[in-house]
A and B are shown apart, each in its own frame.
Chain A
Amino acid sequence: MKILVAIKRVIDYNVQIRVKEDGSGVVTDNIKMSTNPPDDNAIEEAVKIKESGKATEVIAVTIGEEKAQETLRKALAVGADRGIHVKVDGAVEPLAVSKILQKIVNKEKPDLVFMGKQAIDDDCNQTGQMLSALLNWPQATFASKIYFKDDKLEVVREIDEGLETIEVSLPAIVTCDLRLNEPRYASLPNIMKAKKKSIEQFNISDLGVDITPRVQQIKVEEPPKRKAGIKVANVAELVQKLKNEAKVI
């Protein structure tokens, strides 16, 4: 079994982002970048499945600028076997990402594609579902547990009402929640070894996908700032303020 994992390079989740003064986007110069957090869970799950003997190969794919290769190297250092980098400058919409991934899937013919449930920069939560639609595959979104049952996959999904379990036949798409597993750290020897693993690079023109944006970003602004309030001395004062000042209880 072959597993493809799609990972995105994003601004690190610890960075307090700043909006550019001209409203054209957020500041990215000299900002720490990392793998989109749930994509680390996606890689971890794929590597665990390989370690259990059920998969033979884990391929990490990223679509992004030249530096997105760093993200692939990290995936290789925690156990992915090889990487695919589709080189694109600037942001690519989920629909275009899913079309690119469809091409890669058609080339590599994986049995499973693992992805994150949401990218923490665009907060779109679309790409996995879109890729499943293009391939007409089952989609197991927001996964927090996965079990193999014969040749099928049982997936526990986090939904608003609680948990839902579905069973999907392979090939299938799984989008991962942060609770799916605990991503490992790369050891130094593995980081060194990862340098020798192969990364295949494509240009968009090689794949023949039209990535012209369909959504125009008109401006990006800072949200209104909340005024910091007051500190109360004790619980009695708190309750009194809620009752008589804020009038919410």
Chain B
Amino acid sequence: MAVLLIAEHNNKELRPFTLNSVTAASQIDSEVHALIVGYNFEEAKKALAALPLVKKVICVEADYYENFIAENFAPIIVKLAENYSHIICSANTFGKNLMPRVAAMLDISQISDITKIISSDTFIRPIYAGNALATVKSKDDKKCITIRPTSFDPCEISGGTALIENFQSSKQFTSTKFIKREQVKSDRPELGTARVVVSGGRGMQSGDNFKLITAIADKLNAAIGASRAAVDAGYISNDHQVGQTGKVVVPDLYIAVGISGAIQHLAGMKESKVIVAINKDSEAPIFSVADYGLEADLFDALPKFLEELNKLNTIQK
């Protein structure tokens, strides 16, 4: 039986992690069908149909799907489910919000945030903020799964010619109404997919001081991350939070500045290829996961860091 992949998009483009979910879906079964629900999503639909791993694109369109309300999406997926062995989505806020609603309607015990597919019914997932890895086997006939996108590579994006079909919309759920979305627009790479991430913690002391981080991020074409403490203190917005209850990142280079390295923060970044820690406390736990630790006052170190970067002839982008 085929696998149903729920595409995440913003009605214009596919959200990048859709590509990682497609890869995960294709590891379960080569017959991957992608569902796109939204409003005026012509471009996103074309992008989806161009993914070589996607065999069929199923479109459902109505104005009340424009803002991705899970209560509106779930009934469609439930109706489609009988033709599929697995329903898959990324474990980001879109999928986390939607998939359990689908799973409960189908009476399926969902498996969240898998990092590895062992077989069509057996998966590995982190528990306890990634301090343990559980191998779990689903006994349900159908599976509802969310994948940890950073554990799967993005799929090829061109050359595919998937069949495109329309599917009927379901009745609008009127007890939930979208009001607004406050999105911080930025030209930087997305936190989840950036090659380099520079993160600031409580040690930054103020939102204004984050300009020290921004300057370095500009130089390295990096995304900006933060600890929960920095977000709680109002230095930076919530979409920058890395950790157990924020985003998981696996960049080539993660630079933690003024971050102590609580397990909840490590949960979101300890798989990074190279970790740098800048902290004035030699005992800070972050040093135990850092490839390169610099024991220094960040207000002294960051300007020097920028100076040294300026001296380099070339910097990878």
Contact A246 B291 (CB under 8 A): yes
B40 within 8 A of A: no
Q: Which residues of B contact A179 (CB under 8 A)?
A: 231-232, 238
- Distance in Å: Cβ of B55 to nearest Cβ of chain A: 28
Residue of A nearest to B300 (CB): A235
User: What's the interface size class on B, roughly?
Assistant: 35 or more
Q: Which residues of A contact B83 (CB under 8 A)?
A: none
Residue of B nearest to A95 (CB): B109
Bound-state Cα–Cα, A200 to B255, Å: 51
- Distance in Å: Cβ of B22 to nearest Cβ of chain A: 18
Chain B positions 283 through 312: 1 when the CB is less than 8 Å from some CB of chain A, otherwise 0: 000011111111110000100110111001
B158 within 8 A of A: no
Which residues of chain B in 70-110 are interfacial with respect to chain A, using CB atoms and an 8 Å cutoff?
70-71, 74, 91-94, 96-105, 107-110
Residue of A nearest to B137 (CB): A216
Q: Which residues of B contact A201 (CB under 8 A)?
A: none
The one of A122, A178, A234, A249 that contacts B315, using a Cβ cutoff of 8 Å? A249
Q: Which residues of B contact A124 (CB under 8 A)?
A: 110, 112
Bound-state Cα–Cα, A165 to B177, Å: 9
Chain B positions 190 through 234: 1 when the CB is less than 8 Å from some CB of chain A, otherwise 0: 001000100000000000000000000000100000001001100
Q: Which residues of A contact B139 (CB under 8 A)?
A: 213-216
- Distance in Å: Cβ of A243 to nearest Cβ of chain B: 7
Contact B74 A95 (CB under 8 A): no
Contact A248 B273 (CB under 8 A): yes
Which residues of chain B in 229-281 are interfacial with respect to chain A, using CB atoms and an 8 Å cutoff?
231-232, 237-239, 244-245, 247, 252-253, 263-264, 270, 273-276
Contact A218 B308 (CB under 8 A): no
Q: Which residues of A contact B178 (CB under 8 A)?
A: 164-166
Q: Which residues of A contact B274 (CB under 8 A)?
A: 242, 246, 248
Interface size on A, residues (CB 8 A): 82
Bound-state Cα–Cα, A37 to B84, Å: 37
Chain B positions 137 through 151: 1 when the CB is less than 8 Å from some CB of chain A, otherwise 0: 111100000000000
Residue of B nearest to A13 (CB): B264
A29 within 8 A of B: no
- Distance in Å: Cβ of B193 to nearest Cβ of chain A: 12
The one of B103, B128, B181 that contacts A11, using a Cβ cutoff of 8 Å? B128
B168 within 8 A of A: no
Bound-state Cα–Cα, A241 to B292, Å: 8
Bound-state Cα–Cα, A44 to B15, Å: 35
Residue of A nearest to B179 (CB): A165
Contact B112 A126 (CB under 8 A): yes
A209 within 8 A of B: no
- Distance in Å: Cβ of A148 to nearest Cβ of chain B: 14
Residue of B nearest to A226 (CB): B289
Contact A226 B177 (CB under 8 A): no
Q: Which residues of B contact A248 (CB under 8 A)?
A: 196, 252-253, 273-274, 316
A90 within 8 A of B: no
Contact A160 B239 (CB under 8 A): yes
Q: Which residues of B contact A93 (CB under 8 A)?
A: 109
The one of A127, A213, A232 that contacts B292, using a Cβ cutoff of 8 Å? A232
Contact B136 A216 (CB under 8 A): yes
Bound-state Cα–Cα, A127 to B109, Å: 10
Bound-state Cα–Cα, A129 to B144, Å: 14
Contact A95 B107 (CB under 8 A): yes
Contact A123 B126 (CB under 8 A): yes
Contact A16 B122 (CB under 8 A): no
Can you report 26 A-B residue pairs in the complex whose CB atoms are below 8 A from each other? A19-B132, A94-B100, A123-B112, A130-B110, A133-B105, A139-B176, A140-B176, A141-B70, A158-B238, A161-B239, A163-B238, A164-B180, A167-B179, A168-B177, A179-B232, A216-B139, A218-B137, A219-B135, A221-B135, A228-B287, A229-B292, A230-B292, A235-B301, A235-B304, A242-B253, A249-B312
Chain A residues with a Cβ under 8 A of chain B: 11, 13, 16-17, 19, 26, 38, 93-96, 98, 117-118, 120-134, 137-142, 144, 154, 157-169, 172, 177-179, 213-223, 226, 228-232, 234-236, 238-239, 241-243, 246, 248-249
Q: Which 7 A-B pairs have the closest CB atoms?
A: A229-B291, A129-B100, A130-B104, A214-B109, A133-B104, A126-B100, A239-B308
